[in-house]
Each structure stands twice: as C-alpha cells, then as structure tokens.
Structure 1
Amino acid sequence: MTGPVPTLAAVGPPRLLAGLDQRPWLDRAAHLALHGAQPALSAGELTELAKNVGLRGRGGAGFPFARKLGAVTDALRRTGGAAAVVVNGTEGEPGCLKDTALLLHVPHLVLDGALLAATALGAEEVAVGVTRADVEQSVSRAAAERGPDEVGVRVVRLPERFVTGEGTALVRGVGGGPALPSGRKVRSSESGLGGLPTLVSNTETFAQLAVAARLGVPGYRELGLPEEPGTVLLTVAGAHVVETPTGLPLPYALELCGTGPGQGVLVGGYHGAWLSADRARAATVSRESVAAAGAAFGAGALLPLPEATCPVGETTRVARWLAAETAGQCGPCFQGLPALAEQLLEAAQGGGRRALEGVRARMRAVERRGACAHPDGTARFVASSLAVFAEDFEAHAVSGGCGRPVLGALPLPPGARGAAAVTAARAVRPSPRERLLVDWTLCGGHGLCADLLPGLLRLGPDGYPERAAIPVPARMRQRALRAVRRCPALALRLETAE
C-alpha cells in the first residue's frame, strides 16, 4: 500500500533535500551531478568521520553511529567472517514521514551511505526494509540504475505495522522470518541478518553519512550547533518534512508549516512525550534542548495538538491503536496494553478518580516487563499525557468531559485498528449546561478569575465580579474549572444549570 506524501521545505540551504526544487525524483545522473562521486573510506576512517561529526542514529534512540560501526568491526575481528548492512526504511510511526520522503525522492543518497558502510565492512549486500509500495518501487528503481556492483542492494517489503521498525523485528523480516521482535537480548552487531554481525540504522542516518563523507568534518560542521552539528529532518503535524540546521527555535519550525504549539507538542512520536505549549515555545531543534524541556527528540516527529480538539480523547484514540499494534509475544504487550487502553477509555468517559488511578496501575504493570520497547513506549506516552493534560483528565474522569470533539489531530493509518471506538461524536459524554457561581461571602476581589476567564467573567468598578451566576459554554468549561481551583478565597464553584 501507499500512504501520505509529505510536503517538503528547508530552512537555509538543504543538504538531504537538495535538488528537489528542480525535480521530484533524483535519478543517478542528477544525483551525481549534484553531489559528486562517493568517496571510498575504510572502516576506521568511516568510524572517525562519524565520531568527529557527532553522527547519531536518526531513528529514535539517537545511538552514536561511530559506536555502532565499532561494535560491528570488533565482532568481525573476533569471527573473521562477513558482515551485513540493513537500512530501516519501514517508518511505522504514523507521525513521521522523513524517511519516506528520502526514499521517495532521493533514494540514491540513502544507498550511497549504506553502500559506503557495506564496502568499509566487507559486506556483500545491503538490505533495505520498507513497507510502502511506492517506496519499494522508488528504491528498486534506484538500485537498478546502479547496475551490478561488488555490493548488491536488496529491497524487502515488510508488513506495515508499528513494531516492524523495531531492530530485531526488521532483521528477522528482512531475513525471511516474521517481522516481530525476537525478545532476545542479542545485539544485531553480534548476530543479526543470517547470523552475521550486522549494521542496522535508519534511512536518514545513512543519508547523513553520505553527506558527511563528501563534505568532510569541517564542511559538515558549518551548519548547526557545535555540539550537534549538521541538519536534521523534522516531520511536522504528520504532513510536512522540513530540513533545518540544529538550533532553530522550535516554534519557527511549526510556524513554517502553518501551525503553532496549540495545547502542547508531542515530540518523538507515539513512544515520545508531550511538551506543554510554554515549554515548546522555549525549545530549540536539538536533542539537548528537547531533553531539558522534558521530552526526547526521537525521530524528529513534532505533533502539535490544536486548541479545538480534546486531548483526553486524542490520547485514548492513540492508546487503543497502540494496543492493537501489539506483537502478541508477551503478556505486558498482548494483555497489558489493551487493558491499559480500556482503563484509559473508562477514565475518559467519567469513570472517576478511581479510574485514573487504575490507568496508573496499568502503566506500572507493563513497564520494563515487555519483550521489546513497545509496552514501555506506550506507557510513557500515556504518562506524559496524564501529566501535561492533568486538568483535562480530571475533568473527564470526575465531571464527564470537556465538551470538545476528538478531531483526530494525532495521525493514524487509514483504517487503524482499535481507534474506531473513540470518535469525534462519542469520545466523551457531552457536558451538561453549567454556570459559574460566585460566593460573595468569600470573594476577596483578587481578580484572578477575570484573568483566567477573559470575555466570560468581568470585574466591576470595585474590582469584584459583576455577576454572581455566569453561564459557562462547553468550550470554556476547562478554563472555568481552572478558575475554580485557583481562586485564593475558594469563592467559585461550578454547578449544573436548572
């Protein structure tokens, strides 16, 4: 199957996306005319290059690429055999399309990096794992343009599932087995494809390697931060891929794609974490900055949550899909994640504070117990949602909802399993008509309520609210609850209108 094709943009001169302003697909001739011939480097030279440009894996974990190369090289010294190279182009993360963009438009750059590593390690083949038909066609076409070489390129189509991109699942799938996590604690650098020491990294990482080999260390470091040099690819709102030097203010990347932080920004995809709107506005495009704000950069996915949608319903919808994406190989994944998703739905639909405590208990039950990282990643996403949108979850659990629809702002694959139970119309019970009451015997005229409820509650000339009973529209309920909780004199309350 195919999927969405992202729009492309760049801040400053592009490196990975160079040439795409002239043509939509760079064939071999156009690629060489733009980038020049690929240099040949030994394993030691390649490792030093990766180390000196600070290249980290761009698939999510951010593992230093030089250490990956070194691990495979050490294994080869011990075994005296051959190596393998595997490119992870599966990108099962719905909010991330950067690797898809590279493979659809500039596949030769990715193949350059993979073949550079394969030649240095003495591998006879590069295997590229993909899930989309259009991506498979693009990479196969590029491989055919190269003709016979010492290192062959094999493109393998794998099932389009979230867990397919997990390292051991990818290697098993490329090797002809089930594309499921192995659950074994054996590193691919020791025993991967066909039992060989295997270098596994994602599409952008190999493309960055190809760029660094041509530019050299000084040239590569001309852009970006000294501690995180070069450019990165961001996927914004699940629809736009932007290449930017590191250090760019994160809000600028959002604005470039016609959006803002909204209620918050999910960074790193559905195994990532939320930044509140304020923290997102203060962050920059760098691993260090995002980590200091409380999230992890991951694969560079930025998913802002619009003001108009319900964060509780959006979280529940994604959690149900993640539960349906279980590999089914261990209890925490097969049983724990569906139980977590159902408990979350119960809390979202007014299950009370006990339901919220049940969500936390379900998270604790799956953490650090899975055969792969899927249970931990899912629990991290839910925990982050509970923290950043705490007042929304409290309103849903205790008062029945916020009145906002679930717009599906967090992207999921077409026909996604599990998520259908949460819809825009039925994600939460509609809130009853309510009004905000002012207890004059307690009100101290602090005026904080007027700051929290502009346009709804007005102060009179004496600094006190003009009215004792104010109707609260559903869209303002969350803010009204916040005003009730923050009133220093405890003079406000919400009650159902007659």
Structure 2
Amino acid sequence: MSVPPVRHIGPARLTAGLNRLPRLDFATHRNVHGPLPPLSVEDLVVLTTEIKLTGRGGAGFPFATKLRAVAQQAARRRAECHVVVNATEGEPGSWKDKMLLSRVPHLILDGALLAAHALGARSITIGVAEGGAGADYLSRALAERRMAVPTKVVVQPERFISGESGALVNGVNGRAPIPPGRKVLAAESGVDGRPTLLSNAETFAQLAVAARLGPAGYASVGIPQEPGTVLLSVGGSAAFPSVVEVPTGVRLMDVLRLCGGVIGPGVLVGGYHGAWIGQDAAMRAEVSRAGLKAVGGSLGAGIVLPLGEGTCPLGEAAQVAQYLAAQSAGQCGPCRTGLPDVADALATLANGMAGADAVAAVRRVADAVKGRGACAHPDGTARFVISTLEAFPADVAAHTQRGGCGNAVRGILPVPRAAAGRKLAVDWARCDGHGLCASVAPELIRLDGNGFPAFADSAVPEWLESSARRAVRRCPALALRLAAPAR
C-alpha cells in the first residue's frame, strides 16, 4: 500500500512526529501525544459539539448528533451497541486514511476506544479495503497495545461504493457489501441490528486529538465555524502528491503550491462525488466546507486533484464517469441503466461525435438519475458530470463545434482500470452490423448511425455480465467478446 509523503501547513496534529519517523509505534505515540483521558458520553457530546466535529468521510454529518443518537437508542432499547471505524477509502485519489493506518494507527484506535468506553460498546470493528496492507498495519498496531474493548478488522472489497456506511454495515454483518436498498441509520440498526456509532477513520483520529487538547486547545487553529485541521489528499497533476494537514481557512493555492500543483483549466475538489472549480475560484478558495462551497466546490473527503495543462478535460471526466458507472451496486434503475447512459453520453461528447445536441443529451440523462437512487451514488455521479459541463465551457464548445480540443487524455485523474473487470470488445473485421447484440443487452450496447455496436470503454458492471455473455453468444458473426483488463 503505497502512501504519498506527508506535509503540513501550520501545527502538525494528526501528523505530529512524522517529520522524524516513518511510523509511530504505541510507545512513541504515547510520548508524542500523551495519555488519553477517560471521558463519559456526556463529556464527548459536549466536546464534539463545542469543536463542531463533523464526519470526515464526505457527508460532514455532526459527530455529536451520531453519538447522542446511539446513546439514546441503546438506553431506550436496553441494548448493547457497537463502534465501527470506516477506513475502507475506496475512492481513487484518496490517501488520508491509508496514511493514518500505516503511520499513526494508534490515533484511530484511541478515538474508537474513547467512544466505545463512553457508550459501553460491545465491540469495535474497523473496516479496511482489500488489496492493500491496511489489515496488516492494524494487526501490528493491535499487537502493540491492549484494547479494553474487543476489536476486530473486517476486509471489504476495494470498490467505490464499499465505503458507503450501509455497505460497510452489510459487510460486517456477513451480507453483500453494497448499500441497502433503503436508508437505514446505523445508530438505529447497525452491527447485529444494534445501535452502532459509525464514522470515518480521520474522524476518530480527530476525536483522539481533541480529547487531549480540550475544546479551547483544539479550536486554537482553524476558523471559528470549523475549528481544527483537516487532512487533504492532493494528487492529479501535482508534482509532489501528498497527504497534507492544514488548519481550516488556509488558502487552497497555498496547498497547491506546497505540492507543486499546476491548476490548468480547473481543480476537482471533494473527489468523484465532488465538483470542479475553475482557475479564478481556485485562486480565492479557502479550505473549509463553507469556503469551498462558496466557490461552487465541495470539501467532501478532502480530495484535491488539479488537472494541469495539456490534457482533455472532457476525456478525463468521461473516463471517470465510465468508472463510476461500473462501480455502482446495480440494485436500482438509476444505477443499472441510468449511470451507463450518463457515461455513454459524456463519452460521445468527449469524442466529438454528436455536435451541439450532445450537451443537452448529457444534461438530460444526468438529470434523470438525480434523486432516484437507492443510495447517493447516482446523485454524486450526476453532480460530477454536470459540474464538468459547467467548469469547462471552452472545452465543451471545442468538442461540439470542432470535434475536439486537440489534447490527448493523459490520465491525470486516477482510474483503477486493472481492478475493474472485463470489457466488451469487437473484432471489426468480423462485425457485419446485424445489431442483435444491442437488442440482447440494451443496457450495455447501442447502435451508432450506421447500425454498428457502440458502448463505453469501461468494465462491464458485475450485474450486467450475464447480459454481456448472452450478447457474445448470440452474435452471428462471432465478432463480440469479453476481454480481460489490460495488466
């Protein structure tokens, strides 16, 4: 599990000690951060209310509200409760939780233990993504200390939606790790159907720091409305990709300069469910939820991806849209058919094949999925795609009027193709344009103006593989196949 270097602006809190050591073992952790004070649930509610601690996984929900809800549910039902740490971090471009797991895991464990003690929780569960070393790092950390509350690690598939809270609860409970078909609050019914406090790894690490500093000490940096620090994963065109700890209120440009990031035509903030901001907005933006919202962006999970120069913005975004379509749970119409339509429409625009009508087509299919999904994935994908149209008007005009902008797609935005599964491919020497494949698998294949198959250059979603195989079998010319991803 490769993690970029750690940098900071202002005081290092979560990253304290990492300028000297690659990792803080438990003894060093205690020397750097000091003892952990025991706090009651009332103490924790007061503390997290005063410092305005919100979840750092993207949604920004108030931590004190979650804590209070779990305590109330447990008391009302006379039920034991659980604490779950979400360290799955399935989104490309996000590195902060991986950094915490590999370099300062005891801050995460401290925060989880604080909450578990206060709530009288039955267990602590930490969810990590497969394919990395997160479970190994945690096993090593757990071996260095004694956890007073039984603690286990659960490995989730490395998929974009695996980090959704309902998907993590399903995985912990032994079910398919996908979002449930209806909204279920973990505070009411989480692990084993019991009240569960679930939040992101950075949130628990921030809790551990705040418990030691107290409200006044914690709020001595940052802005009054959002005190403290945040972790940012800075990648994209940055010359020095890094996890950066900054006080809220710091100028985004200062962060980009620290990492050698060239803005180019825009910066994606908040990740693939976030939004693009242009050069002017990036120049005046401040790092906070309110500051980025004021310029049309989103802090989200703290992902900052400058695009740089010399790449095609629409082509970059089209690759991301194809990835997001393949990463959904496929359990509702907006995901099964809507997101592939969104990806296909944006790819058509990026390829310069549909003229002025292409923009309207992208907006139409993106608007059709908003507010209709079983989880937030369709809404987030639609927001990303619409933001792309609005952030790059000159590029959109070039593609609709001249067939393209003249730039290749350099792959500045990270898309993990190797793990994405198999793709449809056509042997054009064999294809006679019968069109049968499009009738067998309309969710995947459409016919172009000449009657030949067209489909997105992305992996076939898991739930559509059976349709893809049927289309391959039914092709009269044996021209269609399912190809393994390139290694």
TM-score by length of 2: 0.84
SS in 1 for 2:86: strand
Aligned-pair CA distance for 1:26: 1.0
RMSD (CA atoms): 1.6
Q: How many Å separate the matches in 2 of 1:169 and 1:373?
A: 12
Aligned-pair CA distance for 1:416: 5.0
CA contact (8 A) 2:262 2:309 kept: no
Aligned to 2:400: 397
Aligned to 1:64: 62
Aligned to 1:477: none
CA contact (8 A) 2:125 2:154 kept: yes
Aligned to 1:302: 304
Tell me the amino acid that sits aligned with residue 409 of structure 2: V
Mapped pair 1:146 → 2:145: yes
Aligned-pair CA distance for 1:75: 0.8
Give a deviation string over 1:166-202, Cα, whole Å, max 9, x none.
0100111122211100022221101111101011100
Aligned-pair CA distance for 1:261: 2.0
Mapped pair 1:379 → 2:382: yes
Aligned to 2:467: none
Match of 1:217 among 215, 218, 222: 215
SS in 2 for 1:146: coil
Aligned-pair CA distance for 1:410: 0.6
Tell me the amino acid that sits aligned with residue 157 of structure 2: P
Aligned to 2:264: 262
Aligned to 1:229: 227
Aligned to 1:120: 118
Q: How many Å separate the matches in 2 of 1:185 and 1:164?
A: 15
CA contact (8 A) 1:92 1:163 kept: yes
Q: How many Å separate the matches in 1 of 2:316 and 2:112?
A: 38
Q: How many Å separate the matches in 2 of 1:420 and 1:223?
A: 49
Aligned-pair CA distance for 1:355: 2.1
Q: How many Å separate the matches in 1 of 2:63 and 2:153?
A: 23
Aligned-pair CA distance for 1:417: 3.0
Aligned to 1:187: 185
SS in 2 for 1:188: coil
- Residues 339-358 of structure 1 mapped to structure 2, 5 A cutoff: 339-350=341-352, 351-358=354-361
Give a deviation string over 1:294-318, Cα, whole Å, max 9, x none.
1221111111111211101001010
Q: How many Å separate the matches in 1 of 2:317 and 2:104?
A: 34
Aligned-pair CA distance for 1:393: 1.6
Give a deviation string over 1:269-307, Cα, whole Å, max 9, x none.
000001111001101111111111112211111111112
- Residues 156-305 of structure 1 mapped to structure 2, 5 A cutoff: 156-237=154-235, 239-305=241-307
Aligned-pair CA distance for 1:418: 8.1
CA contact (8 A) 2:319 2:415 kept: no
Aligned-pair CA distance for 1:414: 4.8
Q: How many Å separate the matches in 2 of 1:352 and 1:54?
A: 48
Tell me the amino acid that sits aligned with residue 135 of structure 1: G
Q: How many Å separate the matches in 2 of 1:5 and 1:121?
A: 33
- Residues 77-116 of structure 1 mapped to structure 2, 5 A cutoff: 77-116=75-114
SS in 2 for 1:356: helix
CA contact (8 A) 2:57 2:300 kept: yes
Q: How many Å separate the matches in 2 of 1:417 and 1:88?
A: 22
Q: How many Å separate the matches in 1 of 2:185 and 2:74?
A: 14
Aligned to 1:491: none
Aligned to 1:412: 415
Aligned-pair CA distance for 1:420: 8.4
CA contact (8 A) 1:267 1:297 kept: yes
Give a deviation string over 1:209-256, Cα, whole Å, max 9, x none.
000000111111111111111111011115310001111111000000
Aligned-pair CA distance for 1:326: 1.4
Rg larger for: 1
Q: How many Å separate the matches in 2 of 1:404 and 1:420?
A: 25
CA contact (8 A) 2:14 2:209 kept: yes
- Alpha-carbon distance change, 16 to 120 in structure 1, aligned in 2, over 3 angstroms: same
Aligned-pair CA distance for 1:262: 1.7
SS in 2 for 1:415: helix
Aligned residues: 419
Give a deviation string over 1:87-131, Cα, whole Å, max 9, x none.
000011111111110111000001000110011111121100001
Aligned to 2:46: 48
Q: How many Å separate the matches in 1 of 2:183 and 2:49?
A: 26
SS in 1 for 2:153: strand
Aligned to 1:426: none
Q: How many Å separate the matches in 2 of 1:326 and 1:415?
A: 17
Tell me the amino acid that sits aligned with residue 143 of structure 1: L
Aligned to 1:29: 27
CA contact (8 A) 1:223 1:245 kept: yes
Q: How many Å separate the matches in 2 of 1:210 and 1:402?
A: 49
Q: How many Å separate the matches in 1 of 2:350 and 2:218?
A: 48
Q: How many Å separate the matches in 1 of 2:16 and 2:328?
A: 38
Aligned to 1:437: none
Q: Where in structure 2 are there 5+ consecutive unaligned residues? A: 425-487
Q: How many Å separate the matches in 2 of 1:414 and 1:12?
A: 37
Q: How many Å separate the matches in 1 of 2:98 and 2:24?
A: 15
Q: How many Å separate the matches in 2 of 1:124 and 1:39?
A: 20
SS in 1 for 2:329: coil
Q: How many Å separate the matches in 2 of 1:9 and 1:79?
A: 46
CA contact (8 A) 2:183 2:375 kept: no
CA contact (8 A) 1:220 1:230 kept: yes
Q: How many Å separate the matches in 2 of 1:277 and 1:226?
A: 27
Q: How many Å separate the matches in 1 of 2:398 and 2:421?
A: 24
Aligned-pair CA distance for 1:397: 2.4
- Alpha-carbon distance change, 253 to 404 in structure 1, aligned in 2, over 3 angstroms: same
Aligned to 2:73: 75
Aligned to 1:465: none
Q: How many Å separate the matches in 2 of 1:413 and 1:320?
A: 11
SS in 1 for 2:363: helix
Tell me the amino acid that sits aligned with residue 307 of structure 2: L
Aligned-pair CA distance for 1:22: 2.0
Give a deviation string over 1:371-426, Cα, whole Å, max 9, x none.
111010000000000001122122212321011011101112251538989xxxxx
Tell me the amino acid that sits aligned with residue 207 of structure 2: L
Q: How many Å separate the matches in 1 of 2:343 and 2:168?
A: 26
- Alpha-carbon distance change, 282 to 312 in structure 1, aligned in 2, over 3 angstroms: same
Q: How many Å separate the matches in 1 of 2:347 and 2:423?
A: 12
